[in-house]
Structure 1
């Protein structure tokens, strides 16, 4: 059965896009209320009001809500339940510049863009009438619209549904994932109350070409993991007029970035797919103001994607690369010092420093062992004071904690301290490890084979969704040692930052991504291709649902 869904999904997409729901703004509350109101008007949810929930996020500095709803099928009733998930928030609209007031109005935006000087490909797609432009059309309100369409369809036709369909529309995907992490608690509660058996989850985040000219439309099993390895780097302070009497931590930081940035040796390959290499997201020193002395310390962090490595593996690999970078920096420092000494006819004095790298966990353990309760009480008080600054994000909070801890070290010779300073989005591989994964893979492959003859472009299944998404928080591939490497090496853990990974283990449902196709998510020309996004995505998702809930299994 093919669903005639195009116009309804387009209408829902436009409704959602018109609500400016930038993450960490009041728009998140507005869109959750709008979605809740929309679903409340359904006769099914009027009859079953407890099947529709508006859930406030927990342990969140913002007031915002998820919308969770489910339909119980009447055809061969069973406990099997498929989860559909998607996020309602978007990134900001500042990149639209003078068109910012039209960013969330696709019709006005496209009319204005027709008179703009656009890149050739963008202009051709705009003129074709085959794309919808606007903030959130691709990432990922059209995907949410597809899920809402399917929820409404089965609310009207529960006799066509075996088992149950549960939809989670979450907030805060674009920042800290408070939405999905809060939703896990409700998913566990609903499972207990209704005896739901979660057999699979389908996300609807966007997909894009992998390279210029790529015509494939991608479906993903599982997702990439994302870490933020961070480095606090100390030097030896000196007056700039006597620069070789100390060592600038920025010099070491520069060598570290040279060693890590774009390094293919730090790409994680699994199932024939390779992550992109790490790249720096911040590099700075921690001097509060200008002086003619070199900085005491620097701070660097890098985006790091993983497919099969654990957070523990990443620490070990980066510790080795940090040693290489530190040694290289010292070698260059010594060579330049010798050359300067020759040219200035000064005596060369050998520097005492050696490569010195440790993890935060290693430093913390040594300080607790040496100073005991006095150190622990001081750091508890210090963190409490830091928490009073609402402008301090998790990354800078972590850096300040490491900086304070460092002051307690007896040996404060130059060093690199390695730690994590932000949310870990776990990697998920769905490779057929158990019966549920095999069933989901079979359902996906059979559905793609069924849809493909009716669609002109290749629909290709790959193993890892390549972008950060809330897919990471419905299953867990890491063992306890991997997760401990995150918690033990995050200086803000338990104060500024905490994730209950046990909630993820408790839900632990295999997940795939079937999402809208388009270009330039997070950019001013964000656009979604209509045919695939409005017709193929809902129908393909529906086929997977039907096959997963098949009572014959």
Structure 2
């Protein structure tokens, strides 16, 4: 067993004290600091061409990745393992009056002792085995574990058969520009140095799955994440003549009722099930108050997948949208008739019918109708929209759909389904290739070796349950699935760029062995030090040694 605790702790403290909130100058600061740290190691002073500070491409922010590699000398081998982790964090507004201490674990812990806390949190605050602070769990202690191994093998290349590549990527907490840039470099290194990538180990955090869960988890593969979105048009009217129009918010509410928390939309694979979708935004697009009902509404939902493709998800949700639209119209008719009875007015059948289409179908209709005139206009519209700093990817997509809808000659109430954010692909590691089999065997051997020295069960599962950069080093989807995610995303090719061919070319099986703790992205973010500083580096090392060995 490697004696890692003190060195990983020192690296963790060094990284945590650097404020590296995503989409801020801090991301650049930590990248330069990390590059300086690695470049100062004696090995990299001699092999300075094996450490790289890499600027991201197609990125509105000025930020960098840090990559480095050590070539083992134990035996000639091109087999290579990637150790990856992100350098950015979420913000610190949740710390309230303790915000100034968020990056100082010792002082923060002392201050928290004076706070009113739940009993189990008090135990951790008064324990020497827990560290608090922004980034200690997500995921600077995991990155520190990888740094430890990079440093260890830089001093002991004779103990390494094959090679290890370290990737510290930016922007994991938002748009994954870091890993999407790094993939290109990893492919270049494959050609330049002859690397044969046989596995990747991410070091993102792991947490209990339920109350009093004693397990520490290793994840083999990762959940996929989509953001299915719906632009909903109605028929405007004065509020004093409510039933002469169709409020799109009424349809949106029925759609959310049908999708939100719906177990029928949980995706099961390899014995594991995703959590159901949940709403992340529901709004109308009226710019200001008046007494006219809204012209359109916009909703989107988080959607996790294990085996379904983006096309399958869109098909399922369009069917649900058809039902929701029909239910909304039936409910509206019933309420209209009840109101007519109360007011002594005649009630005629309302004129609307359900109408659902995908963004791809909308685009095709408009191209068929207007040809190059429409294409040129939308290209110019998107270019102008790109200049607006107030629009994130989700709102950018909504505005593109809204503009496209203006070109429809007959504007009957409609639901348009599309994707408005980055698709984080699912990765299934099931042993279908020799490299996957060897990686899974390596995990099993590592747990068998390390478990006797640690009190809590170390358990393997098939899908990392959170969004992570693991999604961008391999692809389990076929081309049809990827295509559906792209052509139904109004941001793709402008606000959003992903080179899936680069990912498919890399296509390395990936697992997650990361620090253990609770309350990531919260004021009480904390990690258990024994597992995170001692067990994680040794588990990772055992996997590295196994998959690189020629036995």
TM-score normalised to structure 2 length: 0.99
Unaligned ranges ≥5, structure 1 = none
Report the Cα offset of residue 124 of structure 1.
1.1
The aligned residue for residue 75 of structure 1 is 74
Secondary structure of 1:221's match? Answer: strand
1:137 to 2:140 alignment: no
Report the Cα offset of residue 433 of structure 1.
0.8
Unaligned ranges ≥5, structure 2 = none
> 1:296-445 alignment to 2 at 5 Å?
296-445=295-444
Report the Cα offset of residue 218 of structure 1.
0.4
The aligned residue for residue 279 of structure 1 is 278
Secondary structure of 1:547's match? Answer: helix
Report the Cα offset of residue 451 of structure 1.
1.1
Structure 1 CA distance, aligned partners of 2:122 and 2:137? 17
Report the Cα offset of residue 121 of structure 1.
1.3
Deviation beyond 6 Å, 4+ runs, structure 1: none
Secondary structure of 1:123's match? Answer: helix
Structure 2 CA distance, aligned partners of 1:503 and 1:95? 37
User: Is the Cα contact below 8 Å between 2:474 and 2:508 reproduced in 1?
Assistant: yes
Report the Cα offset of residue 492 of structure 1.
1.5
1:221 to 2:220 alignment: yes
Report the Cα offset of residue 269 of structure 1.
0.4
The aligned residue for residue 208 of structure 2 is 209
| Cα shift readout 1:265-288 (whole Å, capped 9, x = no counterpart) | 000000110000000111000001
The aligned residue for residue 175 of structure 2 is 176
| Cα shift readout 1:338-360 (whole Å, capped 9, x = no counterpart) | 00001100010211111110000
The aligned residue for residue 166 of structure 2 is 167
User: Is the Cα contact below 8 Å between 2:58 and 2:497 reproduced in 1?
Assistant: no
Report the Cα offset of residue 40 of structure 1.
1.2
| Cα shift readout 1:526-546 (whole Å, capped 9, x = no counterpart) | 000011000000000000000
| Cα shift readout 1:422-472 (whole Å, capped 9, x = no counterpart) | 100000000001111001001111111111111111100000000000000
Report the Cα offset of residue 481 of structure 1.
0.4
Q: How many residues get paired?
A: 551
| Cα shift readout 1:58-84 (whole Å, capped 9, x = no counterpart) | 011111110000000000120000000
The aligned residue for residue 158 of structure 1 is 157
The aligned residue for residue 22 of structure 1 is 21
User: Is the Cα contact below 8 Å between 1:219 and 1:461 reproduced in 2?
Assistant: yes
Structure 1 CA distance, aligned partners of 2:111 and 2:196? 49
Report the Cα offset of residue 336 of structure 1.
0.2
Secondary structure of 2:550's match? Answer: coil
The aligned residue for residue 5 of structure 1 is 4
| Cα shift readout 1:40-67 (whole Å, capped 9, x = no counterpart) | 1111001000000000000111111100
User: Is the Cα contact below 8 Å between 1:76 and 1:551 reproduced in 2?
Assistant: no
User: Is the Cα contact below 8 Å between 1:199 and 1:436 reproduced in 2?
Assistant: yes
1:253 to 2:248 alignment: no
Out of 237-246 and 111-120, give the one that drifted further: 111-120
Report the Cα offset of residue 383 of structure 1.
1.0
Secondary structure of 1:128's match? Answer: coil
Out of 487-496 and 80-89, give the one that drifted further: 487-496
The aligned residue for residue 502 of structure 2 is 503
The aligned residue for residue 465 of structure 2 is 466
The aligned residue for residue 125 of structure 1 is 124
User: Is the Cα contact below 8 Å between 1:250 and 1:285 reproduced in 2?
Assistant: yes
User: Is the Cα contact below 8 Å between 1:235 and 1:415 reproduced in 2?
Assistant: yes
TM-score normalised to structure 1 length: 0.99
| Cα shift readout 1:308-352 (whole Å, capped 9, x = no counterpart) | 000000000000110111111001000000000011000102111
Secondary structure of 1:327's match? Answer: helix
Structure 2 CA distance, aligned partners of 1:199 and 1:480? 23
| Cα shift readout 1:172-226 (whole Å, capped 9, x = no counterpart) | 0000000000001110111111000000000000000000000000000000000
The aligned residue for residue 514 of structure 1 is 513
Report the Cα offset of residue 411 of structure 1.
2.0
